[in-house]
Structure 1
Amino acid sequence: MATTGLLKRLGRMLTEDLDVAEDVRVERECREPGTQRAKDCDRGDEATMTGELRSVQTGCKGKTGVLAEFFDGTDTVLLKWIGRNRIPGVEPGRRITVHGRVATADGMKLIYNPSYELHSSTE
C-alpha cells in the first residue's frame, strides 16, 4: 500500500514539474517588445499579447462563433470571434499575437473579436 501512495505522489510531482516547465517555456518564447503579459491585464484594459492557442472550438451548441483558449505562460485568456464559423490558421498549438479590450465573464479574462496576427509555424 505504501508503494502505491509513493508512486502516485512521484507521478504527481513529475507531472506538476512538467506543467511548470511548459509554462516557463511558453512565457519565455512568447515575450515580445510592446506586448503585455496576460496576468498583468485587467478588465477594461486594451492589451496586446503574444501566446499560444491551447484549444479552439467552432460553432458549439448551434451558436456561431469561434472560441479559443489563449495562453502566454502567465495566464489564460479566452478569445471569442462572434459571427464566424471558422478562421483559417486559428488552431491549437499556433502562436498568435492578439489585440483587444479585456473583459471578464464567469471569472475568466475574455477578449471579443480581437484583431490578431498569426505567427509562422517555424518560429
Structure 2
Amino acid sequence: MAGTDGGAFRRMLRRLTSDVEVLDAVDLSEDAEKSGAQRASECACGQEVTVLGRLRSVEFCPQDAEASLRAELFDGSEGITLIWLGRRRIAGIEPGRTMRVRGRLAVRDGRKVLYNPYYEICQAQTP
C-alpha cells in the first residue's frame, strides 16, 4: 500500500515540475490510445490511418495551383498536415479543436499529409 502512495506522489510531482507542452503531449497520446487511434509517429506512407489529435493551426492557402485549407493535427507523438483541396473554410475546423481523422497517408516534402481526410470533431476530454 505504501508503494501506491509513493507512486501517486511521484506522478503528482512529475506533473507539477514538467513542461506544460510535454504534459499536453502525454495527455493527447493517452486519449488517442484509449480511443483506438493510431500514433502518428508509427504511421507510414500509403497506409490507411485513423488519428486522434488537436489542431495546432489552420490556414487558407490561396497560392497553390488549387486553393486549399490546411491544418496541423498533433496527437502527442507527431504532427500530420491535413489538406482539404478547393476549400476556403470548413465550419468547426479551428485551432484547439480535437478531431479524429481518417485517410491514406502521404509524405510531401518530408512531412506526413492526409488529403481530403474524413473527419469527426470530438469533445475535449476532461480530467
Asked if Structure 1 and Structure 2 have the same fold, meaning a TM-score greater than 0.5 normalized by the shorter chain, the answer is yes
Shift of 1:121: 5.2
What is the DSSP-based 3-state SS (H/G/I as helix, E as strand, rest coil) of the residue aligned with 1:28?
Answer: helix
| Contact 1:51/1:73, CA 8 A, preserved across alignment | yes
Matches within 5 A, 1:80-91: 80-91=83-94
> Alignment RMSD, CA only?
2.0
How high is the TM-score relative to the length of structure 2?
0.76
| Contact 2:85/2:116, CA 8 A, preserved across alignment | yes
The runs of 5 or more residues in structure 1 that have no matched partner are 1-15
What is the DSSP-based 3-state SS (H/G/I as helix, E as strand, rest coil) of the residue aligned with 1:85?
Answer: coil
1:25 is the counterpart of 2:18: no
Equivalent position amino acid for 1:93 in 2: G
Count residues in correspondence: 108
The one-character-per-residue Cα deviations of 1:33-64 (angstroms, maximum 9, x if unpaired) are 43111011010010011110000001443752
| Contact 1:32/1:50, CA 8 A, preserved across alignment | no
- Choose from 46, 54, 57 the match for 2:56: 54
Shift of 1:22: 2.0
4+ runs deviating over 6 angstroms: none
How high is the TM-score relative to the length of structure 1?
0.78
What is the distance in 1 between the residues matched to 2:50 and 2:32? 12
